Amino acid sequence: MEKFVIEGGRALKGEVKISGSKNATLPILAATLLTDGICEIRNAPKLQDTRTMCKLLKTLGKTVEMNGNQVTVSGSVHTHVADYKLVSTMRGSFCVLGPLLGKLGKAKVSMPGGCVIGVRPIDLHLKGIIALGARADFEAGNVIASAAKLKGTQMYLGGMFGSSVLATANVMMAAVLAHGETIIESAACEPEIEDLGNFLSALGANIEGHGTPRIVINGVKKLNGASYRIGADRIEAGTFLLMAGAAKSDMLIRDAHYNHLLVLIDKLHYVGVDVQKDGNDIRVRCKKTLRPANVVTHPHPGFPTDLQAQYMALMAITPGVSIVTDRVFPDRFMHIAELNRMGAQIRRDAGSAIIEGVKHLYGAPVMASDLRASAALVIAGLVAKGKTEIHRIYHLDRGYEDLDQKLIQLGAKVFREKE
């Protein structure tokens, strides 16, 4: 196990290139199960989650080769059983349910694991595939689904906390080989769903509306191989935007989709961070004292839950009182205790965090509880006085490609050390 050691208070300046989207890569890799053709996935981030999904594809019968940021997948699926040891470590791997069901007519997938950020039910996944004509049962911690032939239908896929990205992805992948037309109402609108839809279209699927609340899919008999480039990771880009604000930086964020981050950019403009579109890049400058602002997370195009912790780190050093409310994962606040160890003044009130900005944070040993909480601690460590040790950084390696190297290029003093 490794840790980050950060010597805080150093000025950050320069440019950083954003990697391919982790949250798009995982379902796109899962979608290769739908075809026997050769799929070349370009701009895939070199992450632990990417490697885990590739291992899972191999256990299902696929031939997988990773070469830098390209993943080539070929061959046929030999089994409908997804390995428990792999699925239990990463929630994103649960999206093999839809393509296995669509391709083989059956699937046995372990209940998903991943970051500890609160209850994340799979009811919408099951609702969707049952609407397509599948039978779904639970047995010894597994979801067992089967269908003689999936049939298109119209369904409403919204839930208590809005739409679900993974459920939408699973239903999309199950429906592309189903008989007839499928209409998904209240579908997730995240850019990762749009990326998945574009990849499925490249394979030969007949799909429209991906990236909107209404997706229409007309099933086809067979899909082909394709070469496809994954878009930039909006959460990584958002993390660097918030980092630039916290560290009062002048930063050029390359290969970032400005239009995917409008809600965050709007909030940053309000608090006093200058963010401008620069072609395919984003220029962010921050030299003045910021003012506090409340945020409430919602499914896209609302404020992303995956940037909630990082925004909290910014507000922790912003004078005044701000409130962060998470409507997607109301229990996603394990980072509060660790930020408070560094001198932050944050208290939780049900599904909200009340933050009283302090003048300085101070370096301390802290523990990463999940992927985005880890990123918040990195931001805090970069601006804190003294040395910060962040333990369990395997969370960071699941979602941020070469983060320590990117930070060093910006002028940070970061060391990766063995525990």
Active site residues: 115
> Per the structure block, which two tokens stand in for 145?
């689904």
Check if the beta carbon of residue 194 is closer than 8 Å to that of residue 306: no
Write the burial class of residue 189 (CB in 10 Å: 0-12 exposed, 13-18 middle, 19+ buried). Answer: buried
Check if the beta carbon of residue 356 is closer than 8 Å to that of residue 322: no
Check if the beta carbon of residue 232 is closer than 8 Å to that of residue 257: yes
Check if the beta carbon of residue 255 is closer than 8 Å to that of residue 280: yes
Phi, psi torsion values for 377, nearest 5 degrees: -70, -35
- What distances in angstroms separate CA 365 from CA 33, 42, 340, 380, 389, one per listed residue? 43, 38, 12, 12, 5
How remote is the C-alpha of 302 from its chain's centroid?
15
Q: How far apart are CA 128 and CA 121, in angstroms?
A: 13
Q: How far apart are CA 329 and CA 60, in angstroms?
A: 31
Identify the DSSP state of 212. Answer: B
> 3-state SS of 346-361?
EEEECCEEEEECCCCC
Helix, strand, coil shares, percent, the chain, to 5: 35, 30, 35
Beta strands 39-42; 226-229: pairing state: parallel
Contacts of 374 by beta carbon, 8 Å cutoff, 6+ apart: 368, 390, 392, 393, 395, 396
Check if the beta carbon of residue 332 is closer than 8 Å to that of residue 308: yes
b vs e for 267-294, b when ≥16 Cβ sit within 10 Å of the residue's Cβ? bbeebebebeeeeebbbbbbeeebebbe
